[in-house]
Amino acid sequence: MSIFSRWLGKLRFGVFSENDLKREQVKTENEPTGENIPRHVAIIMDGNGRWAKARGLPRIAGHHNGMKTVKRITKAADRVGVKVLTLYAFSTENWKRPKAEVEFLMKLPQEFLSLELDELVENNVQVRMMGNRELLPDHTLAAVEEAVRKTKDNTGLILNFALNYGSRIEMVDAAKELARQAAAGIIQPDAIEEADFERLLLSSGLPDPDLLIRTSGELRLSNFMLWQLAYSEFWFTDVYWPEFSEQHLFDAIREYQRRARRYGGL
Ligand code: IPE
Ligand code: IPE
Ligand code: MG
């Protein structure tokens, strides 16, 4: 829907506010356009806990607010033409956190999808999950699988949740599978190519991320897509995830558009 028709709708129903006007103006000013919109944007959504702490709130309030950012950023990414949005929601190392926090985090996919799945379906978004399914509680997995099933034929934005995801175990599992195939005589070890390994990764079928964003000021990958990020452009911000806005995403994309990707060439 164009901005114009959204405004028209709001005018018609009398809910048009001055704030809307300001927001729409900001959006159009800073929205990236052009050919080289990153096809795949991956985000390490970090800083929920610190966002909450700074406000005297429990950490889970940060996670809850972070969920609203997921909705905002999914829509914004879709609007500017991103094809795949991968969101790091829970790492294989996050099980180390206090039980109550882990339990809360494991309820979020359900809550998010119960609120948003209809709209995701309507907007032609295809939901995917990348991570180890076995350790997830049944209720978490059921919610995710319902979303995957209901959106599997959608042809719009791919919204890929990295949930119970760890890059090292992903690669070890791929190596095990290649070793099994070699032991069974299905492949020759000397004939293994990068593409054979890549096909066994959880991201198989998706292009590598063009742009990686991490919020909250941390400058590390925390076991996220180590193989796939080999030639991605990185963009960091001190902003905590609950406060990450469309404008931050657009700033990141616009900076990406100014970068020269050389892949080792000239
Ligand atoms: C990111 O926020 C969400 C997850 C890792 C699940 P954090 O919970 O890591 O927030 P900080 O980094 O402690 O502020
Ligand atoms: C990375 O954030 C994982 C997710 C955002 C899901 P962490 O907060 O777990 O990373 P570290 O512990 O600071 O490296
Ligand atoms: Mg963190």
Question: Residue 45 maps to which CATH number?
Answer: 3.40.1180.10
pLDDT per residue over 193-221, tens digit each?
A: 999 999 999 999 999 999 999 999 999 99
Closest ligand to residue 47's CA: 1
Confirm whether 177 is domain-assigned.
no
- Tell which one of 48, 53, 92, 94 to mutate to probe ligand 2, the residue whose CB is within 8 A of the most ligand atoms: 94
Residue whose Cα lies nearest atom 8 of ligand 2: it is: 46
215: left (phi over 0), alpha (psi -120 to 50) or beta: beta
- Does 145 or 8 have the greater pLDDT score? 145
46 lines ligand 1 (CB under 6 A): yes
CB under 8 Å to 14, separation ≥6 — which residues? none
Confirm whether 24 is domain-assigned.
no
What is the 146 CA–ligand 3 centroid distance (Å)? 28
**What's the CA dihedral at 137, 110, 68, 31 to 10 degrees?**
100
Residue whose Cα lies nearest atom 9 of ligand 2: it is: 94
Confirm whether 149 is domain-assigned.
yes
Beta-bridge partners for 227: none
Range of the domain at 117: 3-8+38-166+208-258
Confirm whether 154 is domain-assigned.
yes
Confirm whether 21 is domain-assigned.
no
State the total domains in the chain.
1
pLDDT-based confidence at residue 13 (cuts at 50, 70, 90) = very low
What is the 60 CA–ligand 3 centroid distance (Å)? 12
Return the axis-axis angle of helices 59-80 and 246-258, rounded to nearest 10°.
50
Confirm whether 225 is domain-assigned.
yes
pLDDT per residue over 162-173, tens digit each?
A: 999 999 999 999
Ligand 2 cavity residues, CB under 6 Å: 44-46, 88-91, 94, 218, 220, 222
The pLDDT of residue 214 is 99
What tokens appear for 142 in the block?
């059921």
Return the axis-axis angle of helices 246-258 and 18-30, rounded to nearest 10°.
10
Whether the pTM exceeds 0.75: the reply is: yes
CB under 8 Å to 66, separation ≥6 — which residues? 45, 48, 51, 241, 242
Beta pairing class for 84-91 and 158-165: parallel
User: Which atom belonging to ligand 1 lies closest to the Cα atom of 90?
Assistant: 6
* CA atoms within a 13 Å half-sphere pointing along the CA-CB vector of 72: 16
Confirm whether 42 is domain-assigned.
yes
Q: CA–CA separation, 85 vs 157, rounded Å?
A: 7
Give, rounded to a whole angstrom, the gap between the first and last alpha carbons of the chain: 41
45 lines ligand 1 (CB under 6 A): yes
Confirm whether 116 is domain-assigned.
yes
- Tell which one of 57, 216, 218 to mutate to probe ligand 1, the residue whose CB is within 8 A of the most ligand atoms: 216
pLDDT-based confidence at residue 26 (cuts at 50, 70, 90) = low
